[in-house]
Every structure is written in structure tokens, then in C-alpha cells.
Amino acid sequence: MSENQNPNTSQDVTTSTETAGHPERFSDPGVPEHRARLTDTDPKANKRSERIIVLLFALSCLGAIASLVAYFTVRPDGTTDQTRLSTLLLGVTMAISLLGIGIAAIHWAKALMSDHEHVDERHDLKSSPEVREVAVKHLTDGVEDSGIGRRGVLKGAAVSALALFPLTFAVPLISSVGGDWNISKFRHTIWTSGKRLAYDPTGRPIKAADLTVGSVAHVIPEESEEYMASHEWITEKAKAVVLLVRLNPEDIRSDQSPEGETWSYDGIVAYSKICTHVGCPVALYEQQTHHLLCPCHQSTFDMADGAKVVFGPANRPLPQLPIAVDDEGYLVAQDDFAEPVGPSYWERLK
Amino acid sequence: MSTETASNTGAPTTPVGKAADYLDQRTSIGVAVKEFARKVFPDHWSFMLGEMALFSFVVLLLSGVFLTMFFDPSMALVEYHGAGPETMQGQLMSTAFASTLDLSFDVRGGLLMRQIHHWAALVFMASIVVHMMRVFFTGAFRKPREINWLVGTVLLILGLLAGFSGYSLPDDVLSGNGLRITDGVIKSIPVIGSYMSYMVFGGEFPGEHIIPRLFTIHILLVPALILALIGLHLFLMVLHKHTQYPGGGRTDKNVVGYPLFPVYVAKMGGNFFIVFGILALMGATMSINNVWNYGPYDPSPVGAGAQPDWYMLFLEGSLRLMPGAGTEWVIFGYTLSLNVLIPAVVIPGLLFTFLFAYPFIEAKVTGDKREHHVLDRPRNVPVRTGLGVAFLTAFIILALAGSNDLIATHFAMSLNQITWAFRILFFVGPVFAFWVTKRICLSLQRKDRELVLHGHETGRIVRFANGEYIEVHRPLDEQERWLRVNYDAHRPLEIEPATDARGVKRRGYKSDKRWQKLSRFFYEDRVEPVTPAELAAAHSHGEHDEIAPAAHTSEVTSGTDTVDRER
């Protein structure tokens, strides 16, 4: 864009030129002449429209009656088909009764009611100077009457009281609304040293020998049945779910084991199933590429390469669950995850 | 004195008259009837879009009340044995999910009401968006309606909130994962994110508080706010009187249309029943959100190809498009997840800021302080129309990106390539859409000019005695012409010079200069309306004059002096 001061010097302007003797602008031709409708001029058409409207209202009545008939004849018997049939009949008859009224009313308005246009004047929205003057006077009189201008201490006291009273409401609310406010819970899951890995959702422990190369398992920690029927379990499960795959040991290029430790067992690797993006369960495993795809936002993790992100909006690899095998050949956790699972949050590394 | 008013002059005799008299003596309802019964409303099909939003909200309230009679917003776990499908029997689920199954299968008309409620929510949001498009593209947000535009935009946001909170109530797998995504987004907020997550869920996700909390938000807090703001929206609409499309006799000082009673009572009442009827038809014939196919919430499973309701798709798409590599920053040990923050907080923030700020920016760059009651034809404000289309393009690209997995599976394309294409399109698409729209608007304006100057082509070719051929054009009648010439082609702002008369630097010059730049962006390219002088000039010398100036005499005698002749 040029720095030119004159705003009228660009290229794409189609301007008008004024010539003496002609007005600068066209004048308003006024509201177009009313055109009579067929129903205005032809009594037959008028009568026909009326009959159509009556018919539509009658149809609406029939729809309402049909709805009652449908209600009494189609009784739900617990099957999905019967529920669907009942829904269909009740809905269609309801629609007939409603649409009959709606179409009739609009046809009535369009065909039979007068279609002569009316003109109303608009008035300025702003109030007149006199009104404003009175309004301002009322306010200044009010301020004067209250004496708020002269009584500084009173003003301060009133403002303080008004500022403080919401605390009586807010403090109890805020103290309780977040439960115990203990956000360090984000750091831990119920995985502990020696806890067995179990199939989700059956809860059956997993033997390393049962897993063939290329197989994949959705994993939960082994817990008692009554714990698994509690709310606490759902919240803990939301952090603890793991996806386990058995790869050919040669295919594993890396995992997250630190120096001197082995977090995988004979090609079996276990990673948190909670996406490091916004926390969806990462559930789609592609055997050929060893890629794990999050169905929510398509973050893709390479299970053969430390669950590193290969595509999508996630930034961090899925945390690895260190696993081993116990005396009976069952897979167990060596420890909890080394870092918080799931999406990032402000204090994650603190 | 008080006794004679009622008895003496024209005491009502009919039952209706008596009832009206009774009411009027206690409420002075006569004043309201006198004021409003024959109030004039302009007519146009696009004015019913806002009505559709209102009426689908009424349907939401009606069907919602039905649902609350049977829905139990509790997260207490139960083993299900009820009227629901075989696959759900014996499953562990929340009471909320169980009562959703029961009200669908056990309550007659329950499933119909659920489906009507869900469809009405989708139509509610759609009609709000289309209504906003109408208001935006016709400039109905200009003075004095800026405040009402803000009220409307807040209503849009409340609508999103109502939809989101209601969608999550059945506590099924799909909506549970939606909540989990919300939790991830909340956690990404710097400093307070973790605590906000605790505040929303009453502890860790999912906890046992979220469904009752969402229920209160969904059936009390948000609907109350929506109702209050609808009241304000309509009050301001009546106070301002409705805008009207340009046309003969319609000015900023009047309102041309039909009286409220009976025409609009019938039309609006009819519209309500049609909206309700169509929603009933949709609820009857199109099943939606069959939660028994997804199952109760469990933090482990997730469905592939899962999409949120359409009005949330843009957020979903925004999350999907953001590349994750290198966008999570650690500053002094604190984690800043730009890969979530930018798409889920910053992008929608920018989109809504545009909506909130636009009327004020346009007023400023137009330098216009008048009241406007006659709407703009979108072509006559090319940059506004272009910006609106660019905004919609960004919104649609994000919504499509929110369906990238479905596009990939349906058209057998690479998901990664689609995502990359959308990443690029998100930046290129709106710019291109702006440019194309602006050019189309300018071209339409030029076409209008040409029509006004030269009239309609008639297809009639006339041969003169001297052998010359001309095509006969029919001039526009004055209504047609008025529609095409009655607009203001705004010019860029002119500002005062940098220094005053004594050569002292003027304060505020830099800011003025910036506004002028923006104003140039808006109004540098423009097409001005035809003036009477130009029309007269076009009539007096057709272009064929230049080819054969000597033919003048024969033209006069050709007998076609009632038509305009060109080319």
C-alpha cells in the first residue's frame, strides 16, 4: 500500500462525474404500487384458498387424533424395533398436526390477509435535549440528596462492605468445588511394583507366554472385583490404562529405559494409553508399521521407537510402564510410570 | 369521578369487551395494544432466520421439560437391568446412563423427545449462525444495533455452552471422551489450568460430580441466561424497529411492511408450528445419538470416526490441525502446551474477538455516525462481505479438518496428507476467499452500473434504413434503478495533517494514520453509484455514435425513441 496522503488515488475506483444541470443523486421513487393478488381479484381463487386452509387445519386435527391412536395401539415391548415404530408413528402424527397448523396459518396470511404495505415513521433513538437535561438533573439531585459527595468516609465504608460481602459466598464455594485441590494426584497411578498386568475389561492377568509376536493387549492393573465397581476405580483407570504390544525384539529401535535398566520384556513393551495431547485413549494399533494412532486427533506414536510422536498434535512420547515377569510367568509392573501420564499441565515438571 | 368512567361512555356489553375492560382497568393494557397491535414489520424471508432460532429454543424448552421428568443426573453406579437393549443388560453404568436408556425404551414418546431435543439443539445453533450471517452481510449490526449484535454473539456462545453441557449428560463413552478432551484443554491453560480442572470435575477427571454439575448448568444456569438475553435481544429489536431491505420508499426514517396483527401473528405463529413440525419429523425419522450403541462411559475404550456435534467441529478440527512437534515449551520448569493452547483457546478467542469487535472497527474506518435502518446489499460493501466469507471459510475448513478421519476413510485418502492440506488451507483459504468475494462484489456492482446506464438487453436487433444495425436495450424502471443507485460508496478516511498550522506535531496523528491505512483497505477499491448526470450522458450518446456519427438523423426517424439504444 502506498504512503500517499490522498486516499482517492488508487487504481480500482469507478467514480461518478457530476454534470451541471442534473441532481447529484436520483430521487426515491416511493413505495412501489400495490399489485393485486389472484385472490384479491378472483373470488373463485379466494374461495379456493380458503378451502385449502380449512383442509390444512382439518389435516392437523386428524394428525392429533392419529397420534392418540398410535399411542394406544403401539405399545413398547422392550424391543428396539417396537420402540422405533412407536417413535416413528408418534413423531410423524405430531408433525402432521403441527405442520397443518403452521402451513395453514402462513397460507392464510399470504393469500387472504390484506397485503397492503403500511409505512410507520421512525423516531430518533436519542432522547431530546430537554429530556436529557431533566434526567441529568434528577441524577444530580439524587446524588445531592444522598450526600455521597460530601461524606467520604461513608462512601469508603459502603464500597468496602460491597466489595467484601461476596467473599461470604465465594470462599465456602471455592474451598469445596475442587474437592481436596490436591493436584499432585496427576503424578501417580495405581501401578506399583509387582502389580500384575490384566486384560481390560475382564481383569484376567496376562502371561508373557500367551502373547505372540505382533499381538496387542489393552491392559489394566489387576484389582479386586469390588474395587472395580467403585468410582475411585473409574478415576484411577482413567490414568492407569496401558497398551501392550509384543514386537520382534530386533524391531525395537529404542524404548524409554534409562541406563542400566530394562523396562520391556522379551519384545513386550507397555505404554500409557492416555494420549499426551489432550488425554484420549490411544487405541488404534497398526501391526505392520508398529504405529499407534489416537482416533480423536490422530497423533501417531511409534511403538518400536520409544512411542515417539511421528505425526499429529501430540508433543511428547507416551510414558512407558516398566514391566517384568513374576515367578509364575505373569507380567508385572516394575514400578509406577516415571512421569505423569496424559496431557501436559503447567506444573508437570515441578 | 371514578364511577362515571366505566359506566357512562360506551360501556362494553360483549363478554370480550367486558373482559378487556376488566383487564384494562387493572393493567392499562389498552396502551400496549394501541402501541403494538398494528406495529409495522418489514417482510423478507431472511428475517425469519432469527425466528427459527427462537422457535427451536422454545422446542428445546418443551422437549427438555419432558426429558427432565425422567432423567436422573446421578453418577451412582448401577448394574443395569431395565427396558434397554439386550447388550446393556448387566452392565455397570451410571444412573444417568441407565435413566437415559429407560427414558428411551420405557417411556412412550421418550425416544422421540430425546431425538427432537437433540435435533432442535443442532437446528438452534445452525439458525443462530445463519441469522448472524444475514445480519453481518447486510450490515444490520451498524448503529444503533451494535449492542444487540453483542447480545447476539453472547447468545451464540451460550448456545455452544448449552449444547456442550447437554451433549455430555447421558454419560456415554462418546461424550465422556469429549469431556476428557475438555479436561486436557483446561489443563493446558497456564498457571491455573490444573486447578481449573479440579474445579470443573470436583477433583480428578472424571470423578463423580461432573454430570450433576453439567445438569445444573444445562437446565438452569445457561437457559436462564439465554432467556434473559433473548428478552433483551427482542426488546432492543422492538425499540429499534426492524431493519428493512433497500427499495422504493424505504428510508432510514421509516419502516415499510405489514402490521403485526394479523399478518405477523399468523406468519410468526405459523413459522413456529412449521419449525416444531419439521423438528418432530426429524425426531421421528432420523435417529440421533443412540447411546446404547456406544455404551456407558469407561475411560478405556474410544470410538474411531467419532465426531462432536457440528457446532463443536471447528474446535475439534483446530486441535487436529496443530502440529505437536516443538510446540510444547518448558519455561523455568513450567510447561506451556502451545499445541493445545493455540488451537483450543487462542484460535476460538480470535474468531470471537473478530465477531465482537467488527461493528466497532467498521464504524471507525467508515467514519460513520449516522443511524442505519436500511440494509446494505452485500455487494455494495465488498470488503465487509469478503471478510465475512473469509471468516466462514476459516470456520468451514476447521470443521472439515474435524472430520479428516471420515474424509480419509470415505475417499480412501491419506489422513496425513489431508491434515497437511488443511493446515495450508487454513491460512491460504480465507485469503483466497476474501479476494474472490471482493472481486465478485466489485464485478456485481459494475454490472449494476452497466444495467442502470444501458438497460436490459432485449435481444431485439433493429436495422435502420441506412443499413446500420443496433440492439435495442430496455431502460430500467425507476424501482429497478433505485435499488441499484441508492447506496453510499464510502471513501477512505481523510485525516488531518501531521503538523498543525504552526508546524507543531499533532498528537494522535500516528493513530489516525493507522486507522486511515485500515480505512484504505476497506474502501480504496470501490464502485460509485450512477448519478443522474451519467445516466443522461449515457442516453445522449450511445457507443455506436462513435462509429457512425452521421447516423444521427436516421436514428431519430427509426421509431424506437421509447427505448434506449446502445452498441
Instruction: Concatenate the DSSP letters of all residues of B57-78 into one string.
Output: HHHHHHHHHHHHTT------EE
d(CA B266, CA B244): 20
Residues of B in contact with A178 (CB under 8 A): 195, 198-199, 202-203
CB contact under 8 Å between B144 and A125, yes or no, is yes
Could you read off the pLDDT of A113-124 as tens digits, one per residue? 999 999 999 998
State yes or no: pLDDT of A331 exceeds 60.
Answer: yes
Q: What is the pLDDT of residue B302?
A: 87
8 A C-beta contact, residue B366 and residue B522: yes
Q: Which of B58, B80, B337 to mutate to test the interface with A (most CBs of A within 10 A)?
A: B337
What single-letter amino acid sits at A54? V
B421 lies in a domain? yes
pLDDT at B8 over 70: no
pLDDT value at B556 more than 90:
no
Whether B426 shows a pLDDT value over 50: the answer reads yes
Report the pLDDT averaged over residues B357-384.
96
Is the pLDDT assigned to residue B476 strictly greater than 50?
yes
Does the pLDDT of residue B213 top 90, yes or no? Answer: yes
The domain of B462 spans: 440-566
As a whole number of Å, the CA-based R_g of chain B is 31
Q: With an 8 Å Cβ cutoff, is A34 touching chain B?
A: no
pLDDT at B567 over 70: no
- Same domain, yes or no, for B323 and B421? yes
Tell me, yes or no, whether B461 lies in a domain: yes
The answer to whether residues B396 and B456 belong to one domain is no
Total domains, chain B: 2
Residue B4 C-alpha, separation from nearest chain A C-alpha, in angstroms: 35
Which of B193, B205, B255 faces A238 most closely, judged by CB atoms?
B205
Cα distances (Å, whole numbers) of residue B319 to A278, A299, B339, B400, B505: 9, 11, 8, 12, 48
Based on the fold, state whether residues B415 and B451 are members of the same structural domain: no
Cell numbers representing residue B205 in the block? 477427571
Query: Residue B496 pLDDT more than 90?
Result: no
Query: For residue A324, is pLDDT > 60?
Result: yes
> Which pLDDT score is estimated for B552?
39
Domain annotation covers residue B120? no
pLDDT at B250: 95
Task: Tell me the average pLDDT across A48-77.
Answer: 95
- Which residues are within 8 A (CB) of B96 and not within 5 positions of it... i.e. 6 or more apart? B71, B72, B73, B74, B75, B169, B170, B171, B211
Instruction: Please provide the DSSP assignment of B332-371 as one string.
Output: TTEEEEHHHHIIIIIHHHHHHHHHHHHHHHHHHHHT--S-
Residues B118, B119, B124, B126, CA torsion sign = positive
Of B408, B434, B460, the residue at which a domain comes to its end is: B434
DSSP string of B375-425? Answer: PPPGGGSHHHHHHHHHHHHHHHHHHHHTTHHHHHHHTT--HHHHHHHHHHH
Average pLDDT over residues A46-67: 98
When pLDDT is averaged across residues B169-185 and rounded to a whole number, the result is: 95
Q: What is the dihedral of CA A144, A145, A149, A150, to 10 degrees?
A: 110
Place of cell 501436559: A344
Which of B176, B57, B76, B177 lies closest to B125 in space, CA to CA? B57
Rounded to whole angstroms, how far apart are CA atoms B543 and B470? 10
Question: Is B381 part of a structural domain of the chain?
Answer: yes
Give the CA count within 13 Å in the CB-facing half-sphere of A288: 0
Cell numbers placing B306: 467419532
Rounded to the nearest angstrom, the minimum Cα separation between B383 and chain A is 13
Write the DSSP symbol of residue A305: B
**A29 to chain B nearest CA, in Å?**
5
Tell me what pLDDT residue A112 has.
Answer: 95
pLDDT at B435: 98
Chain B positions in Cβ-Cβ contact with residue A12 (cut-off 8 Å): 442, 524-526
* Residue where a domain terminates, one of B404, B434, B464: B434
Q: What is the pLDDT of residue B303?
A: 81
Q: Which amino acid is it at B366?
A: T
Task: Return the pLDDT at A79.
Answer: 82
pLDDT of res. A16: 55
What is the average pLDDT across A158-168? 97
Residues in A touching B272 (Cβ below 8 Å):
102
Residues B426 and B513 placed together within one structural domain of the fold: no
**Is B327 within the bounds of a domain?**
yes
Average pLDDT over residues B455-474: 91
Residue B553 has what pLDDT? 37
Joined grid coordinates for residue B482: 433505485
Mutate to test the interface with B, among A345, A348, A349 (most CBs of B within 10 A): A345
pLDDT tens digits, residue range B141-153? Answer: 999 999 999 999 9
Q: What is the distance in angstroms between the Cα of B515 and the nearest Cα belonging to chain A?
A: 12
Percent of residues, chain A, with pLDDT higher than 70? 95
pLDDT average, residue stretch B162-191: 95
Pick from A4-18, A155-169, B465-479: least confident: A4-18
ipTM rounded to 2 decimals = 0.92
- Is B124 a member of any domain? no
Q: What would the pLDDT profile of A205-214 be if each residue is shown by its tens digit? A: 999 999 999 9
The string of DSSP letters for B111-152 reads HHHHHHHHHHHHHHHHHHHHHHHHHHHTTTTSTT-HHHHHHH
Q: For A4-49, write each residue's pLDDT tens digit.
A: 344 444 457 766 555 567 888 899 999 999 999 999 999 999 999 9
Same domain, B494 and B546: yes
Cα-Cα-Cα-Cα dihedral sign, residues B225, B230, B231, B237: positive
Are B480 and B544 found together in one domain?
yes
Same domain, B334 and B404: yes
For residue A148, the model assigns a pLDDT of 85
Question: Three cell numbers at B426?
Answer: 487454513
Percentage of chain A with pLDDT > 90?
87
In B296-333 the beta strands, taken as DSSP E runs, fall at 328-331
Q: Which of A102, A122, A218 sits opposite B241 (nearest CB)?
A: A122
Q: Half-sphere exposure (CA, 13 Å, Cβ side) for A150? A: 5
Q: Which of residues 5-34 of B touch A (CB under 8 A)?
A: none
Question: In terms of DSSP bridges, do strands A291-293 and A284-286 run parallel, antiparallel, or are they unpaired?
Answer: antiparallel
pLDDT of residue B542: 53
Q: Which residue of B has its CA nearest to A346?
A: B335
Radius of gyration for chain A, computed over Cα atoms and rounded to the nearest angstrom: 38
Residue A84: predicted pLDDT: 92
pLDDT at res. A213: 93
Cα–Cα separations (whole angstroms), residue A233 to A239, A322, B213, B400, B539: 10, 21, 21, 37, 86
Write down the pLDDT at residue B566: 41
pLDDT at B73: 97
Residue with cell 439443539: B121
Per-residue pLDDT tens digits for B271-291: 999 999 999 999 999 999 999
What average pLDDT does the segment B239-248 reach?
95
Averaged pLDDT, B450-474: 91
Interface of A with B in 216-245 (CB under 8 A): 218, 220, 229-231, 234-235, 237-239, 241
Residue B73 lies in a domain: no
Which range, of B82-86, B526-530, B540-544, averages the lowest pLDDT?
B540-544
In degrees and rounded to multiples of 5, residue B110 shows phi and psi of -65, -45
Chain A contact for B210 (CB, 8 A cutoff): no
- Distance between CA atoms of residues B418 and B372, nearest Å: 44
What is the Cα–Cα distance from B385 to B379, expressed in whole angstroms?
A: 7
Regarding pTM above 0.95, the answer is no
pLDDT of A11 reads: 53
- Calculate the alpha carbon distances from A127 to A123, A154, A350, B144, B208 in Å: 10, 34, 60, 13, 55
Confidence band for A280, pLDDT divided at 50, 70 and 90: very high
Please give the Cα distance from B271 to B276 (Å, whole number): 8
CB-CB under 8 Å, B405 with A344: no
**pLDDT value of residue A15:** 63
Which domain-ending residue is among B390, B405, B434? B434
Q: Using a pLDDT cut of 90, give the percent of chain B over it.
A: 86
Average pLDDT, stretch A238-265?
Answer: 94
- Same structural domain for residues B390 and B409? yes
Residues of B in contact with A283 (CB under 8 A): 301-302, 304
Quickly state the pLDDT bin for B269 (edges 50, 70, 90). very high
Q: Is residue B171 in some structural domain?
A: no
Convert the pLDDT of each residue in B386-422 to its tens digit. 999 999 999 999 999 999 999 999 999 999 999 999 9
C-alpha cell at B227: 432467556
Using an 8 Å Cβ cutoff, are A198 and A205 in contact? yes
pLDDT at A1 over 50: no
DSSP-derived secondary structure letter, B214: H
What value does the mean pLDDT take over residues A40-67?
Answer: 97
Percentage of chain B surpassing pLDDT 70?
93
Which of B175, B244, B339 to substitute to test the interface with A, most A CBs within 10 Å? B339
Q: How far apart are CA B10 and CA B27, in angstroms?
A: 19
B490 with B398, same domain: the answer is no
Which residues in chain A are contacts of B475 at CB distance < 8 A? none
My answer on whether B516 and B410 are in the same domain is no
- In this prediction, residue B471 carries a pLDDT of 87
- What is chain A's mean pLDDT, rounded? 92
Residues of A in contact with B89 (CB under 8 A): none
Residue B262 binned pLDDT confidence (cut-offs 50, 70, 90): very high
Residues of chain B numbered 345-374 and touching chain A (CB < 8 Å): 371, 373
Same domain, yes or no: B412 and B454: no
Same domain flag for B405 and B316: yes
Residue B328 sits at φ, ψ, to 5 deg, of -110, 115
pLDDT at residue B544 in the model: 44
Q: How far apart are CA B375 and CA B488, in angstroms?
A: 12
**pLDDT, average across residues A81-104:** 96
- Are B285 and A91 a contacting pair at CB < 8 A? yes
Give B501's pLDDT tier (boundaries 50, 70, 90).
Answer: confident
Q: Looking at residues A65-79, what average pLDDT do you find?
A: 90
